[in-house]
A and B are shown apart, each in its own frame.
Chain A
């Protein structure tokens, strides 16, 4: 057991756990942040996507020891029901969530992608950016629309 100090969603946290515990389990079990989901445990599905120093990673492939002193953002840190991020709002408006289990990972990955660009992306660009996030319900079509909608809103709010 080790004490691991890191920053999650802007707050410094300190957890006592095995350094070999996955970041996903630390977030869910020790930090009480259950938005990130485990689906495959192998880095295949993207359901556990979080930002590690602003870069999207599969938190099931990151060990607790690796995040000592680092910055982590989970879906809970992107926005809340009371104050949704434009990406979250667009997912709701466009009907881009169904069962919702893959949604947190997709929100994090979409947020990271939209932060990294300054235009409304084409479908092929979004497909490359979100190629690592599996969804079994939606057929992805409304996810593509939601990312474009969020990008357009983000741009127009910047221009204001």
Chain B
């Protein structure tokens, strides 16, 4: 089908929520104001690991202006939360395992009184020695942080015979890679409102990535029927996975039960957000890769250890996805892969854009670059030789049944200006002591939840009084613009103007359960659910129009923004407004639903924790860097992002993801790391957490490959995560191309680069990098 057949799909449609965002008119959750409000505050642990001997709240309770002081004793239901395993206490009772652990909650007339009350709560601790190293946590010498031990999960995938392959290999590379504890650094910190309504409903307004699951976790802690809780989770000032887990929803709910119906607000300071919020899992990845002289990769052995901190959250799923993706989009016949997700007292790690793939992609794509150099092969040729295509079997033994665009992304990379003229670009240095280099990497990322987890989409479509349509999808818009894509799909299929579509998301009273906004799934899933709802709406409209004009439904045809009935005396127009009033007067419903089950693979690889997925998005990055050999600083000057996201529904939105992902990947590779010492955060706020600013923004070009995934809405797949993955190794490969140093410990700070340059200077010019 040609692009031109579509009115909205594939077009640069500006965001439908743009005007209210640029004018400041949009109300985020913490922008609401309520009369008679009270402030909520959370008491966090003073120690990364300690036994709680006693909690005395009496002085805080006696303070004037304090409405409630709550501890674990005040939790009516289950004292725990966690998406997969609810191992994190809502309010700690006997042990604290990280400084983010909450011990008590306060509601008070003012913020100042609430803060003062926190200082009056006395907690008698018995400090314990914190476990701060994941490898140590796995040994017999480490005390158990949880009853089940310190290894939260262990996943393995084996295929072929790696030992035999290693013995037959022409070249073997073996390296260890370390990755940082990246902070989501959403601009809006965690916060919101809780209110017990006069009718007994509990309303929680708090940004999140899955209102229905947040509601379930609240209900479990409160022992309250979920039907009596309304969660409003949209709009959101950024999430990136960091608002996937419960943040302050349960605290708001508990406090709201004790404030006599007065609305209670919590809004974390950046400092509290740094301590309490989840982070990207720091990984140690040991990788051994074998190849033949001709560049055929014959074996890969991986051992990855992820530090999930004090609680599991989605750590088990993160390490599973990492292991599923750690061989890249290649067909390596012999693999031996294992991953561990390990408890420590280092804060809490959880979901973050890329979900474990970032850390392992850095390893395999560095090895690809090293192999290309040692075998004297072009880096793109080497990759093209090893990539799988649709119908092939991947390294983990998975026969790919959906579209695979790696080869097209590599062919596009080969033809792009930056790559073709790389020798010229390298020479074009800005100062004599600076060196330029160009690096490339490719990767992939699953779309959807994988085997063993429910994965469905659902949408509502409602005809409104003014003849417009309201699309309801549970999936929140965490910034990516899925709401605009939903409007495009609905307008295209209903053959109406996009201005006749409104979209509601993330509200358990206004939308039906459509799963999470994670796993790059919401465009694909929500889009298909809307596409499933549209025929139901067309049937409803057609039948009503037929009744209005007394014709058979097959004599009702769809026009632009209206229907018309074919009658003996000519065509009779029926507007959607007319239909609404007709149905309204007859007390008939004007709302329909659409449902969609994500296709899945039939069999799980035993021990893999959910592999394989059915659908993947692919992407190749090329970057140009300049390394300052005097200071060790690296500037990324140009980025080319070549995604295979299936059919691109909105090029402007896709570019927005590609650009944002590239800059987040630059931050991850060069600057960002939440530093911890003995279980305490040394990083406290944005003063000492360095994020890329507009000044570090390179020229970013996005060239999506033309492809379509037949199972997706109009052929679309997903894009949200893969956009920040290959760039990590592309940058470190470019640093090598520029300065001859391999950075295997991220971030590649000026200090690390400078030290590597000094080491290179001091040693003989023989290969340093194995």
Contact = CB atoms under 8 A, between A and B. Distances in A.
Contacts of A44: 685-687
Given A45-B187, A75-B24, A136 B655 contact: no
Contact of A142 (B17, B25, B240, B656): B656
A74 interface: yes
Given A98-B656, A99-B186, 8 more contacts: A34-B28, A39-B189, A98-B660, A99-B235, A107-B23, A126-B694, A142-B656, A142-B659
Interface stretch (B91-99, B126-134, B320-328, B475-483): B475-483
Nearest to B236: A99
Q: Which of A47, A136, A138 has the most CB of B within 10 A?
A: A136
B457 interface: no
Contact of B187 (A33, A47, A130, A131): A47
A89 B22 CA distance: 8
Given A37-B188, A98-B656, A127 B479 contact: no
Contacts of A137: 238, 479, 656, 660
Contacts of B267: 38
Contact of A136 (B27, B187, B481, B662): B187
Interface in B146-191: 184-189
8 contacts: A40-B270, A44-B687, A104-B22, A134-B187, A136-B187, A136-B240, A142-B659, A143-B694
A34 B24 contact: yes
Contacts of A139: 656, 658-664, 697, 700
Contacts of B401: none
Interface string B16-35: 01111111111110010100
A72 B700 CA distance: 36
Given A34-B27, A42-B686, A130-B694, A136 B18 contact: no
- Chain B contact patch, size range: 35 or more
A28 B270 CA distance: 18
Given A139-B663, A139-B700, A81 B656 contact: no
Given A93-B14, A101-B238, A102-B187, A88 B661 contact: no
A132 B693 CA distance: 8
B22 A107 contact: yes
Interface of A: 28-29, 32-42, 44-45, 47, 74-76, 78-81, 84, 88-89, 91-95, 97-104, 107, 126-128, 130-144
A140 to B, nearest CB: 4
Name the residue among B22, B240, B687, B691 with the largest chain A CB count within 10 angstroms: B22
B14 A100 contact: no
Which of B237, B686, B694 has the most CB atoms of chain A within a 10 A radius of its CB?
Answer: B694
A81 B20 contact: yes
A138 B656 contact: yes
Contacts of B238: 98-99, 101, 136-137
Contacts of A126: 694
A130 B692 CA distance: 12
B694 A127 contact: yes
Given A81-B20, A81-B25, A92-B14, A134 B693 contact: yes
Contacts of A133: 693-694
Ranked 3 nearest A-B pairs via Cβ: A35-B24, A101-B237, A99-B479
Nearest to A18: B112
A64 to B, nearest CB: 15
Interface string B657-698: 011111110000000000000000000011100010111010
B186 to A, nearest CB: 6
A99 B242 CA distance: 14
A140 B691 CA distance: 12
B185 A34 contact: no
A73 B187 CA distance: 22
Contact of A91 (B18, B187, B663, B687): B18
B652 interface: yes
B656 A74 contact: no
A98 to B, nearest CB: 4
Interface of B is mostly: loop
Nearest to A99: B479
Nearest to B691: A134
B384 interface: no
B695 A104 contact: no
A35 B28 CA distance: 9
Given A92-B14, A136-B185, A84 B695 contact: no
B187 A95 contact: no
A122 to B, nearest CB: 13
Nearest to B18: A92
A72 B751 CA distance: 43
Interface in B632-672: 652-653, 655-656, 658-664
Contacts of A130: 694
A33 B237 CA distance: 17
A91 B17 CA distance: 12
B269 interface: yes
B22 A91 contact: yes
Given A95-B15, A100-B26, A42 B479 contact: no
Given A40-B686, A100-B235, A101-B238, A136 B22 contact: no
Contacts of A93: 14
Contacts of A38: 267
Interface in B198-239: 235-239
Contacts of B663: 139-140
Given A44-B687, A97-B18, A88 B187 contact: no
Contacts of B21: 97, 100, 103
B480 A98 contact: yes
Interface in B257-294: 267, 269-270
B23 A37 contact: no
Nearest to A79: B23
Contacts of A143: 694
Contacts of A99: 186-188, 235-239, 478-479
B22 A84 contact: yes
B479 A104 contact: no
Nearest to B19: A81
B237 A37 contact: yes
A36 B189 CA distance: 14
A148 B470 CA distance: 35
B438 to A, nearest CB: 20
Contacts of B481: 98
A74 to B, nearest CB: 7
Nearest to A126: B694
Contacts of A144: 694, 697
B685 A40 contact: yes
Nearest to A80: B23
Q: Which one of B17, B24, B270 has the highest number of Cβ atoms from chain A below 10 Å of its Cβ? A: B24
B565 to A, nearest CB: 37
A84 B19 contact: yes
Given A39-B188, A98-B479, A135-B187, A88 B270 contact: no
Contacts of A75: 22-24
